[in-house]
Amino acid sequence: MFEQRYRFHFEAAHQLGVNVDTKDHPYAHVHGHSFEVFLILRGKELGPKGWLTDFGRVRKTAEEIHDLLDHRYLNDIEGLEVPTLENIAKFIFDKASASLEKLAAVEVNRPSLGEQVRYEA
Ligand SMILES: Nc1nc2c(c(=O)[nH]1)N=C([C@H](O)[C@H](O)COP(=O)(O)OP(=O)(O)OP(=O)(O)O)CN2
Ligand SMILES: [Zn+2]
């Protein structure tokens, strides 16, 4: 089995008011994070080209998702009204899998906080 990974970053703001009991909770205030994303592709066979998927294609998909999320207020994006790492990972998986047939998983991390989430279909 081969695994291919592509990493990109984006910066965005959000608030998680629905996840906490009081309006004063820090999660309920609009704040920002740096997000690290991995697109993870898997396959058993390489085919005649000797690769799973051209990294150029993976990069193009990553750039489209980056442009959708970078410097945005995530709560305003349809499908990301509750922008936890978990929901962001699934959102990215659903978008990216439309153009990357071998996409197997998406990881979304906040490296400075040691927080990591992985979504697999
Ligand atoms: N399972 C999850 N738990 C939490 C998530 C999540 O997406 N999935 N998200 C959050 C919030 O985004 C929160 O802002 C993160 O807070 P915290 O880890 O405390 O880090 P800070 O932003 O407070 O870190 P600073 O160093 O103060 O900037 C919470 N839980
Ligand atoms: Zn947060």
**pLDDT tens profile 98-107:** 999 999 999 9
End-to-end CA distance of the chain: 18
| Residue 61 · residue 94 · CB < 8 Å | no
| Atom of ligand 1 at shortest range from CA of 88 | 7
| Residue 42 · residue 1 · CB < 8 Å | yes
| CA 75 – CA 16 distance, rounded (Å) | 9
Q: pLDDT tens, 41-87? A: 999 999 899 999 999 999 999 999 999 999 999 999 999 999 999 99
How many residues does this entry show for the chain? Answer: 121
| Cα of 85 from ligand 2 centre, angstroms | 9
| Cα of 49 from ligand 2 centre, angstroms | 42
Which pLDDT value is given to residue 100?
98
Tell me, what's the ipTM? 0.90
Instruction: Go through the domains of the chain in sequence order and give each one's CATH number.
Output: 2-120 (3.30.479.10)
| Cα of 27 from ligand 1 centre, angstroms | 7
Which pLDDT value is given to residue 66?
98
Is there an atom of ligand 1 within 6 Å of 114 CB? Answer: no
Q: pLDDT tens, 70-79? A: 999 999 999 9
Q: Which residues does 76 contact at the CB level (< 8 Å), separation at least 6?
A: none
Task: Check whether 89 has a pLDDT greater than 90.
Answer: yes
